[in-house]
Amino acid sequence: MKAKLLGIAAMMFFLLIATQGLAEQSEVYIIKVADAISPGTADFIKNSIKTAEEKAATVIIIELDTPGGLAESMRLIVQNILSSKVPVVVFVSPSGARAASAGVMITMAADVAAMAPGTNIGAAHPVGAGGKDIDGAMSEKIINDMVAQAKSVAEQRGRNAQWVEAAIRESVSVTETEALKENIIDLIARDTDDLIKQLNGRVLKDKGVLNLANAKKVVLEETLRTKILKTISNPNIAYILMMIGLAGLYFELSHPGAIFPGVIGGIALILAFFAMQTLPVNYAGILLILLAIIFFIMEMKITSYGLLSVAGMVSLVLGSLMLFEGSTPDMKLSLHVLLPTVILISGFFVAIASLVFRAQISKPTTGSMGLVGEIGVVKKALKPEGKVFVHGELWKARAKEPLDENVKVRVVKVVNLILEVESVDEGVIA
């Protein structure tokens, strides 16, 4: 009996240990960022960190390979990493990958920074849109701002703040072995499995000990929303989409029933507003652009001798310049995009308005009203009614005075499909 009780107790003990082990199995969330840093990337990392927090993950690993990207997006990513309740590990991988420019600051912000063999980090000197250098006082202002932020983050994480400053000011870049030696990163790992093995038991400031024994890996994929946002979230692309959208809707309103321009315009406008949710938009710029559209529409209704079109073009230019209020050049419209777009769109609006205005004031050429003023010939004497041949057709007609056959007449009015005519001269056509 005692042996039986001891056997039951042993089974319960091992069952309890096994159950506890399953309950405490840690989860490692993994996301891959192998692209330029953009608002779409920032949104993806933000949502991934939020998911990891909600699921109580032990750690989240960002596998990073980037040439850099938008400074504003980088700042948002750094803020999300620093405020994350779940430990964040940035792993520059696989071999051959790099963490350049904005990638440097993202790596510095991680709780644990790691690199794979054959990778590099650095070259964080800021550049403007299109990779061009920023000149003058603006360059110094942007560099000093980035240096201050980077040094603050590096000091908070206990990393080499002097090297980060050199990476920004002098575009210094180093390999993974040099980065480990210079206290830029915390460890070197062959792959993700090796990284998890090295992280196991590591003590993190304010976040405790990482228990990653038999950890379960969960890979978070980009959603369709993120993929679309990454494609269109460049300020220049968002602006072009908005202009296409407004032009399409304008054409549809001025020529009802065209359908295709309205459909394309609606889709483009929705995509533009979707992209702008992650961009620093100045709503005064949007209002000025909408005001420009109103001026162009009014040009079709009011004889302003071009003044409303000029006002529309001025509003369009001012609104475009004010549309994005980012503090760095990469979050503002490029003049190489702005000027051609404004010229093309303004020309389009003015051309459509001119066509509509001409159509309104021109003499009708079709239907019954198109017959007024036409010259015809009497085919059956008008006494006072008869038949006349006008515009290639035989019409019933009447005149105030009798007219013989073959007399030339002019159409004065059309009433209930009966032409009222008058004699052009007293001559007779033989």
The residues annotated as belonging to the active site are: 101, 141
Helix (H, G, I), strand (E, B) or coil at 399: strand
Alpha helices for 170-306 (secondary structure H): 176-181, 192-199, 224-232, 235-254, 260-276, 283-301
Residue 94: phi, psi to the nearest 5? -80, -170
The distance in angstroms from the start CA to the end CA of the chain is 138
Instruction: Give the list of residues 6+ apart from residue 122 with CB closer than 8 angstroms, or none.
Output: 99, 100, 104, 167, 171, 172, 173, 174
Q: Are strands 418-428 and 393-399 parallel, antiparallel or unpaired?
A: parallel
Instruction: Give the list of residues 6+ apart from residue 237 with CB closer than 8 angstroms, or none.
Output: 231, 275
Contact predicate 424/408, CB 8 Å = yes
Calculate the CA dihedral of residues 290, 293, 298, 304 and round it to 10 degrees. Answer: 110
* Structure tokens, 360: 């309104």
Q: Of the candidates 164, 202, 203, which has an alpha carbon nearest to the alpha carbon of residue 183?
A: 164
Residue 243: phi, psi to the nearest 5? -65, -40
Place of tokens 């400074």: 71
* 399-406: Cβ within 8 A, 24+ apart: 399/423, 403/378, 404/378, 404/428, 405/378, 405/379, 405/380, 405/381, 406/377, 406/378, 406/430
CA torsion sign for 136, 140, 141, 142 is positive
* Structure tokens, 280: 């620093």
CA torsion sign for 335, 338, 340, 342 is negative
Instruction: Give the list of residues 6+ apart from residue 194 with CB closer than 8 angstroms, or none.
Output: none
Contact predicate 176/116, CB 8 Å = yes
Contact predicate 183/162, CB 8 Å = no
